[in-house]
A and B are shown apart, each in its own frame.
Chain A
Amino acid sequence: MAVPKDMNVPAIKVAKVPPSGERDDHANPRSAIAMFLLPALLVYAAFTALPVARTLYNSTHLVVPNRPPEWVGFTHYIELWTDTIFWKAVWNTLTWAAVAPILEVSVATLLALALYAKVPFSRFLRVAWFTPVLMSYVVVGILWMWIYNYDWGALNTMLRAVGLGDWASPWLGHPDTALPSLIAVTTWMWTGFNMVVILAAMSSLPTEVLEAAELDNCGWFGKLWFVILPLIRPTLLNLVVLSFIGKMKIFDLVWVTTQGNPLWATETVSTYVYKRAFQWSTFDLGYPSTIAVIWFFIVMAGVLGLTLLFRQREKLEY
């Protein structure tokens, strides 16, 4: 797609605001700007902008191998409306994207408070809690399939050991428990990451404010609720949005563990797009592209909605 290149053309003209008197041309040489920017823009155009344009184009065409794409108008979009598996996948992904950020950020805040209170071994704990996020979803998926194994998995073994053997279940094999089990895995992965960010925000709080709260005889809960949390709110909201975006994309973990089974209980939009594009023998790339386009707008709306919501609350409070 030519958009980024077009953007670059005006850049070659004279800069809008002369930065330092008559020497502006010297300080902002067009050839250097073009040289520095061009490789990145080319990569962006070829491997990001062009694929997005192609997906948009696909979404109104029937795209079958060895035949030119055939214009079908909005047929795919209409078909999507009655595709129950798609809506199931949307529901699952939205559940994931709604539950996981709350779980991650709240547990992470508690953990960060624990380290902020200077418990022993805090350096070691920080490193240990952060580790899961560094692992590939493939490794994590296989590992947790074992943990959730009915016969010898760690979870059932522990339940049996404490006398709750009745609760033992094939966690990933039952439609009611499969999605919550996978949400527990992403929480395991990302909580430590959130904790580190929150701890950094807490550590940079001005000490005078905290000391003032102590002088006012503020209890530790009051200090937390009225001083610390409001001050780190922007960080918390940022993390919620970031986690939301991540969960709306989720593919790897589901693909390695359940592939959407049982009974579509863990199907996400990503896995459904992948199945329709590369696995089912429908050979049509148009329909999955339509899903991708619709999903793109839902994600955008979600991010925009969250941002506006958080802004709104901020205005109301201050």
Chain B
Amino acid sequence: MINIVWLVFLVSGICYGGWNGRIEFITQSAISAAEGAVALSFKLIGVMCLWLGILKIAEKAGIVNFFSWLIGPIIRCLFPTVPKNHPAIGAITMTVSANMLGLGNAVTPFGIKAMQELKKLNNDKDTASAGMCTLLALCTTGFTLVPATIIAIRSAAGSTNPAEIVGTTLIVSLLATMVALLVDRICQLLSKRPARRRPR
């Protein structure tokens, strides 16, 4: 799936660019995007260190456990493959909480931490497990209570009521999250069948 999407981006981009007479921009943009990706990973190092450090303190102080106790039951329903009391539950809880608080760049380190915990439960090292796909579904729809960036750009554009969209954002992201989780569960059920047949 991802192979086809990636190839379609490249093939359609280069072919259309060539036909369009924009071929010299292609080389430029490919190189500058590669450089930009490296710069972005370097930028991530600082953010990752900061929030993983804070997360470690939260773990040792029992704050993560407190959050797991608070919304853990819901998380356990969404991730039936994760055993009870596994550290993955705590990490997923922190990711969802950070997402809800609109913490922006703190969500990524927490999410990656949760992915690492889920990977420990995964037998196949290259292929995403059902739990990983569910976590990704939760994060790509990004359920947020405080959309800070949007409030900021709205007030910069001179809005009389920058926070007016908070209500609609909440409803829409709740709806999108629920649909994504539903589709995730359907895909999970559909993809299970061939895997079961194979051992025979």
On whether the two chains bind one another, the answer is: no
